[in-house]
Amino acid sequence: MSFYLRPLVAAVGLALAFSVQAAKPAKSAKAAKPAAKQATAAAPAHVASSDLELAHNLGPVGEQHLQAVVDRFNKETGGTMKLVRLEKGQKPTGLNLMRRYDMAEVLAHPKSFVPLYEMMAKAGEPLNMSDMSVDLKAGVVDAKGRLVALPLAYSTPVLFFNKTAFRKAKLDPDQPPKTWFEMQGMLDKLQEAGFTCPYTTSWPVWVHIDNMSAVSGVPSMTEKGALVFNGLPQVKHMAMMTTWVKAGYFKTFGRRDEASAKFENGECAMITTDSREAVDFREAKGVELGVAPLPFHDDVYGGRQHTLADGASLWAGAGQSATQSKQAAKFVSFLLKPEMQVELVRIYGQMPLTPAARAAARSKILKNEDETLQIAYASLNGKGAEPWRARSQHRPGAHHRQ
């Protein structure tokens, strides 16, 4: 796992940093120094306490990148926004970049936040998110479809594979597995070729319960919030994974993204993890990166459905002054500009929020990341499934959805 110039192993990446940092001791909120003063000649003088704060719990490299974004914002707008750390159990501040993962308790308190659409409207900033991908709206819209937070760093699970490993195992590097069943034969060949870890996964629950369920068309939870991931497709999948563990095809390393480092160092030939990790894998030595949609089970009724998007979103905290709210709204507009979106994609690998940003990203990011983004979007829209759907419907005896 590395971030951009990959000075870190295992501890960076947005998603990653969120989780890793939460377990670490609190760092002073003053650790991140704003560098805004010099550019603010035209701006009114602020006392420190009235400055807008952006709280995050990224790792050191993530923090450095975010600081650069904040500096740029302050410079361009004469703002005085400060970066601070968001620790577990702490009250939200003006703006809060957080992932639901590890922050479920904080996000259970509506009084701590202001809905994003409300903040933007009051500040007179536009928020035309109607053209934003519906898939990116998970967990950030209210019952009326209004945007309550900005899904800034979302991605979706994909299958990454090492083309170099494929060649060693005499597999076609341009033919990644489409189904879990097809994948099994490839894992056997990789093992024969000497790979001790043919396949691994990061975020096991997210990939193998939530997304595997979604792809099979049987959600892991009902709309009312009851867990239902013990149906036939999930049990069959889990049974298959168990046989893979026994056969040595599938190795696990932890509950978060511990496995990502094992793919990056070439030990594991394939991994299922969030699409944004393409930016971490791109410079891995000995790894020629291949990317494919998350495999599916072709004997599940209805064929391949879509994967799920998730990640960190930006939440506005309650109790801010009008000046602070206005600046926060301005920052949201700043982040939505296509050039900033492209910059963020380059750094984090997340999915751009708007079609304009998506189009801009195509020409300006590396081929690997562009390919990953295209696959991620196709996977979310279910379009990547179309060629296979027809086939599975023609299979006799394939209909055993509960």
Partner 1 sequence: MRAANIDPVRIIANEELEAAWADKKPPKAALDAAVHRGNAVLNAKPGLKKSQPF
Q: Using CB under 8 A as the criterion, which residues of the chain lie in contact with partner 1 when the complex forms?
A: 100-102, 104-105, 107-110, 112-113, 115, 138-142, 148-149, 203-206, 208-210, 220-221, 224-230, 234-235, 238-239, 241-242, 245-246, 250, 252, 255, 308, 310
261 within 8 A of 141, measured Cβ to Cβ: no
d(CA 305, CA 302): 8
Residue that has been written with the tokens 């994948």 in this structure: 183
Tell me whether residue 33 or residue 122 sits nearer to partner 1 (CB atom).
Answer: 122
Residue 15 Cβ vs partner 1, minimum distance, rounded to whole Å: 11
> Which residue type does 95 have?
L
Q: How far is the CB of 232 from partner 1 (least distance, A)?
A: 9
Closer by beta carbon to partner 1, 68 or else 239: 239
Shortest distance in whole angstroms from residue 304 CB to partner 1: 19
Q: Which of 187, 183, 123, 121 is nearest to 148 (CA)?
A: 121
CB atoms within 10 A of CB 25: 5
Nearer to partner 1 by C-beta: 2 or 213? 213
Q: How far is the CB of 45 from partner 1 (least distance, A)?
A: 35
State how far the Cα of 170 lies from the Cα of 334, in Å rounded to an integer. Answer: 48
Buried b (16+ CB within 10 A) or exposed e, 133-160: bebbbbbbbeeeeebbbbbbbbbbbbbb
Q: Which is nearer to partner 1, 120 or 169 (CB)?
A: 120
Q: Are 61 and 4 in contact (CB under 8 A)?
A: yes
**Residue 49 vs 222, nearer CB to partner 1:** 222
Instruction: State how far the Cα of 141 lies from the Cα of 138, in Å rounded to an integer.
Output: 7
- Taking the least distance from each CB to partner 1, the nearer of 235 and 390 is 235
Distance CA 316, CA 376 (A): 28
Q: How far is the CB of 258 from partner 1 (least distance, A)?
A: 12
Shortest reach from residue 111's CB to partner 1, in Å: 8
The one-character DSSP state at 18 is H
Q: Min. distance of Cβ 294 from partner 1 in angstroms?
A: 14
Kindly tell me the burial class for residue 164, based on how many C-beta atoms sit within 10 Å of its own C-beta (0-12, 13-18, 19 or more). middle
- Judged by beta carbon, residue 45 or residue 108, the one nearer partner 1 is 108
CB 314, min distance to partner 1, A: 13
Using the minimum distance from each CB to partner 1, give the nearer residue, 33 or 109: 109
SS3 call for 113: strand
331 to each of 9, 43, 79, 184, 334, how far by Cα in Å? 30, 15, 9, 47, 5
How near is the Cβ of 149 to partner 1 at its closest, in Å? Answer: 7
Facing residues of 221 across strands?
A: 227
Amino acid found at 211: N
Nearest residue (CB) to partner 1, 5 versus 104: 104
Q: How far is the CB of 221 from partner 1 (least distance, A)?
A: 5
2 vs 201 by CB, closer to partner 1: 201
173 class by beta-carbon count within 10 Å (0-12 exposed, 13-18 middle, 19+ buried): middle
Q: How far is CA 132 from CA 137, 241, 358, in A?
A: 8, 36, 10
